Amino acid sequence: MTTLAGTVRVRRRYYRCLECGQSVYPADAWLGWQGGFSHRVQEAVAMQCAGLPYREATATLERLTAIAVSLHAAQEVVARWGGQGSHRRRMQSG
């Protein structure tokens, strides 16, 4: 797991449905972990990418935090966070 403090190894329970084959780490959803990044790393990526081109944003994040995030991972984080923002706006206006 990549956190603002660096990469850490975390042991957590893993469940897999025998019928459909879908798997899940329940703690990940509770902690806000997605794509191998902590909630705060995802937030930092989304904030950097909101104001800078992806390449510059990921390079700046690496310079400031020593956390390397690929362009693809940054795009996935922004897509998730962007979707959450539009969901929040719909909830607030409704």
Alpha-carbon span 31 to 45, nearest angstrom: 17
The confidence score (pLDDT) of residue 73 equals 94
- Whole-number average pLDDT of the chain: 84
Alpha-carbon span 67 to 77, nearest angstrom: 14
Residue 23 clears pLDDT 50, i.e. is over it:
yes
The 10 Å CB-count burial string (b at 16+, else e) for 24-36 is eeeebeeeebbee
Q: What is the pLDDT of residues 39-82, one digit of tens each?
A: 999 999 999 999 999 999 999 999 999 999 999 999 999 998 88
For the chain, give the percent of residues with pLDDT over 70.
Answer: 88
For the chain, give the percent of residues with pLDDT over 90.
Answer: 46
